[in-house]
Chain A
Amino acid sequence: MKINVKFFARYREALGEDALSVEGKFSTVDDVRALLAARPGSDVLNEQNLMCARNEELCQLDEPLADGDEVAFFPTVTGG
């Protein structure tokens, strides 16, 4: 399956990219996070207060995934 991944704000800067896609077998959002966090220089993806979204809706890390989903990882939101 293919998952399209986006990063925002501080994570985007720390990782040096705003989007990528991953191919493989992923049950949950956390499977994608763990794969990407294992890459060198990707410690931000291990942060306790990491937020995530699936198909443009906030979700938890145990959210199930389907082929073609868009997943996003970002730090705590600070609008308003």
Chain B
Amino acid sequence: MAIRVQADPFDPGAEVSAMHAANVGVGAVVSFVGYVRDFNDGLDVSGMFLEHYPGMTEKALGKIAVEAQQRWPLLKLEVLHRIGALEPGEPIVFVAAASAHRQAAFDACAFVMDYLKTRAPFWKKENTADGPRWVEGRDSDHAAADRWKQ
């Protein structure tokens, strides 16, 4: 299990390759890459700043990852999130789950993203033509997370 919170850019392709390197028992890798869009809620976005809660961020992501490992038979799980200044087109988040068979990897990847969106302490501030603005949370994110409640 790997949790990384970093200001530096990353290469999603290299991250996916590393998921099954040195483990031929891995039969499935499912990954999600989130990118910074150049628009949101009707306005052009020229960039954003990712604020977080140092200390809690790593703990919250670790807790989500542990829960995913308890629910599904995973061979590897990686969660990577950028912080600081980002430009449109840049990868902002990477989640990948590796397992022997596909369903566990599909489900674990979706679960981690849904929980991350509602429980990890990150906040986006966008630069728009109208000036900077904080992104507001969406009800649909909470509905997505609620489907995993047992």
Contacts and interface: CB of A to CB of B under 8 A. Distances in A.
A9 B126 CA distance: 12
Contacts, number: 73
Contacts of A77: 117-123, 137
Contact of B93 (A9, A58, A80): A80
A80 B56 contact: no
A80 B136 CA distance: 13
Interface residues of A, number: 17
Contacts of B131: none
A68 B122 CA distance: 25
A6 B137 contact: no
A80 B53 contact: no
A8 B119 contact: no
Contact of A10 (B34, B53, B117, B134): B134
B117 A56 contact: no
Contact of A78 (B55, B56, B59, B122): B122
B67 interface: no
B56 A72 contact: yes
A57 B56 CA distance: 7
B51 to A, nearest CB: 5
B1 to A, nearest CB: 18
A79 B124 contact: yes
- Residue among B34, B63, B124 having the largest count of chain A Cβ atoms under 10 Å: B124
17 contacts: A8-B123, A10-B123, A53-B53, A57-B60, A58-B119, A74-B53, A75-B123, A77-B120, A77-B122, A78-B123, A78-B135, A78-B136, A78-B137, A79-B50, A79-B93, A80-B92, A80-B116
Interface of B: 34, 50-53, 55-56, 59-60, 63, 81, 92-93, 113, 116-125, 134-137
